[in-house]
Amino acid sequence: MKYRSLRSALVVTGVMVLSGVPLFAQTQVHGYVGPPASTCPQVIVTAVDTPAQLSRNRFSATRTTDLVFHVLFQGKLDKNHVVTLKVYTPRGHLYQTLNVPVAPQKGHTPMGSRRLAGYPYPVRIKAPQALKYNNVLYDSINVRLPVAGSSIVTSSLYGRWKVEIQMDGMRKPCPDPTYFFIVQ
């Protein structure tokens, strides 16, 4: 009788593991699944030549020099962060990882730079600027991605691209990646 209940418990545990049901509360550090959407920034993509058109998501590789990722933060920033943008090609391959240190703006003084793991030199710290999008005022930073003269053009990497965002070295990206198209 004792072994039957133990065997039943092991079977139930095995089924839970195979079906992806968490065995422990997800508030623990090791049970972390991903950041809640409410704390994740939103990414809007524009062309450097047309920054006012925040609703476009289709860009011509022959007419666009750089793309700009506008990272919109929910609420005011109160501490330093590192924002990681992972840009994926239309075939799902990682094209580029962009790590950007962000600090709350303290007056109009230069922000300086910060050493990041994997970078040989310090990276310039960005201070968020106000940006109005859909009638809401956000703290925002801009991150550029070169298009003209890059392997996007030389290798004809046209199609639907994806940008995932991670905050402060979290293992999982924020939900709801941003998609955009690069066409010839």
| pLDDT tens, residue by residue, 50-81 | 766 666 789 999 999 999 999 999 888 888 89
pLDDT number for residue 34: 53
- Stated as kind and residue range, the H or E segment containing 60 is strand 58-60
Other residues' Cβ atoms within 10 Å of the Cβ of residue 62:
10
Other residues' Cβ atoms within 10 Å of the Cβ of residue 112:
10
pLDDT number for residue 183: 96
Q: The tokens of 65 are what? A: 């020099």
pLDDT number for residue 165: 96
CA distances from 183 to 19, 58, 62, 164 (A): 40, 7, 8, 20
pLDDT number for residue 37: 55
pLDDT number for residue 55: 64
Q: The tokens of 28 are what? A: 């623990």
pLDDT number for residue 169: 85
Tell me which residues of the chain have a pLDDT lower than 70.
1-38, 51-55, 106-111
pLDDT number for residue 22: 39
pLDDT number for residue 78: 81
Domains annotated on the chain, with CATH = 1-33 (no CATH), 34-183 (2.60.40.1930)
Q: Which residue, 40, 56, 48, is CA-closest to 143?
A: 48
pTM: 0.76
